[in-house]
Amino acid sequence: MEKAFPVADGTSSLDLPLSSAPESDPSTAPWKYKMIALVCALLMSAGSHFSTNALNALKSTIKADMGIDNTQYGVISSSVSLINTILPFLGGVWMDRFGTGWGALLSTGLIVIGNAFSAMAAHLDSYAWMVVSRVIFGLGSGCVVVAQETILSKWFRGKGLAITIGLQITVSRLFNFLAHGTAIPIKNNTGFYGNPFWVACGISAASWLFTIIYLILLKYTGGWEMGKKSHFSLDKVTRIPLAFWILPLNIFFLGGVWTPFLGIATEFVQQRFGTSELISAWTSSVSLAVPVAISPFAGLFYEKYGKRGPVVILSAVLLVIAMALLGWSDASPMAGLVLFSLSLTLAPVALTSSVALIVPPGLIGTGIGIHKGCLNAGVSLVDVMVGAIQDHQGGSYARVSTAMLVLSCITVILACFFWYVDVRFLSGILDAPFSIRKGLQEDRQDAYLAGSLIPLTPRARMLSWIAMAIVVAVLILSWVVYGVYLFK
């Protein structure tokens, strides 16, 4: 017997058009169902995060065994982020229209296949196969994060969203940390650098099983893609509030420092501070340790007190200090890595949980997809840039450190603009404590009748088209740069 969630007007969720609630209205579901959805969502991307950081930790080994340079390694690393400049947007549109279930199942399946192919590429010592395997892996890893955050945004939209996003980041960083610290020992103890990818494949298979459990939950609760499916159009995207576009702009630059640095952290520490590969891997894993412990508390803070703008500014400032310490100071790398880790903890929860507060309920997946696409565009561009600069400098990270510091300084300016946009155009909803934010959310929900969007003035819609054009231009640039260095 299928169960239905009650909705705000007292009708059954099974009678509600999908255009206003693609999977019933899970935010009104009993907590026992929410907890099952939460556990499944948190573990969907475990294998994805383990695999990504296993690759990062093995950078020196992969370059030596495959006989490739830093730029070619950058191509391997950015293969994942490049494909995800576009895929999260398409995945978000899919999930807004058809629901999260099938999208999550396909994504986790591709991650399993991609990890298996990565391990086989290591067996063959094949650069070409490794690039192909990471593209397949990327097809799944980009969409699975969109699925996760869309699920959390829909099930916990009314209360607890920032906390659940914090938990999601905690779990992802935990598997990042484990991969960063264990990839080298697994390689050393087994004598083969492909075995960490086989471990990632096993973890990914478990993630796929948790996705099956989530699908069963949807079927049982009556949220199995029921009702009328909403239709997507670019016109709807232009009616997303103009203030939304500051989010992808911020994550483009912040992500363009965070993720590429994580990709080079082990080798950077090894070269800059003269430690062994194993010690460097464990030392650099400190950059992933703080988010494991603090992200849920950060989510709790945002949920109760708001203050997203000031905290994003603090995160950007910490990033500048961290890059300065790591690049030019003789202090222990632990100091810079801990500050980097704090930066990596504070802003992602704030920015990601802001999406559901700004965009209409029917376009949450699309909004998260745009957000993630811009993140991956920044990562892809900087990944290739780092490899090219390093090769040009004979393998040195000196100018890479300078480039990272410059990008970090830009994030401070954009973070200030993020706070200004919230106060000036969003009535301070991102900065407000829960008691005030609840009323602001209700006012915004009233304007989204049956999933409709707030009408914008012609001038504002024109600016939205300009913002979309800039996003598309950045995505095209990332593909062009990748192609130039892939075939160079």
Range of 113-122, 214-223, 475-484 with top mean pLDDT: 113-122
**pLDDT confidence of residue 21:** 40
Please state the domain count of the chain.
1
Which stretches of 38-155 are assigned E, i.e. beta strand?
none
Kindly report the number of other CB atoms within 10 A of residue 203's CB atom.
Answer: 22
- Residue 217 banded pLDDT, cuts 50, 70, 90: confident
- Residue 8 banded pLDDT, cuts 50, 70, 90: very low
Determine contact, residues 291/345, Cβ cutoff 8 Å. Answer: yes
Instruction: State both tokens at 49.
Output: 């995060």
Tens digit of each residue's pLDDT (9 = 90 or more) over 193-215: 899 999 999 999 999 999 999 98
Q: Give the burial string for 118-145 (b: 16+ CB within 10 Å, else e).
A: bbbbbeeeebebbbbbbbbbbbbbbbbb
Residue 4 lies inside a defined structural domain of this protein: no
Residue 42 lies inside a defined structural domain of this protein: yes
Residue 16 lies inside a defined structural domain of this protein: no
Residue 285 lies inside a defined structural domain of this protein: yes
Residue 257 lies inside a defined structural domain of this protein: yes
pTM of the model: 0.73
Res 253 pLDDT > 80:
yes
Residue 7 lies inside a defined structural domain of this protein: no
Distance of CA 50 to the CA centre of its chain: 14
For residue 33, give its domain range.
28-486
- Residue 112 banded pLDDT, cuts 50, 70, 90: very high
Question: Average model confidence (pLDDT) for the chain?
Answer: 81
Question: Coil, helix or strand for 202?
Answer: helix
Residue 3 lies inside a defined structural domain of this protein: no
Instruction: State both tokens at 192.
Output: 């083969």
CATH code of the domain in which 157 resides: 1.20.1250.20
CA atoms lying within 13 Å on the CB side of residue 206: 12
Residue 98 lies inside a defined structural domain of this protein: yes
CA distance 347 to 344: 7
CA atoms lying within 13 Å on the CB side of residue 261: 32
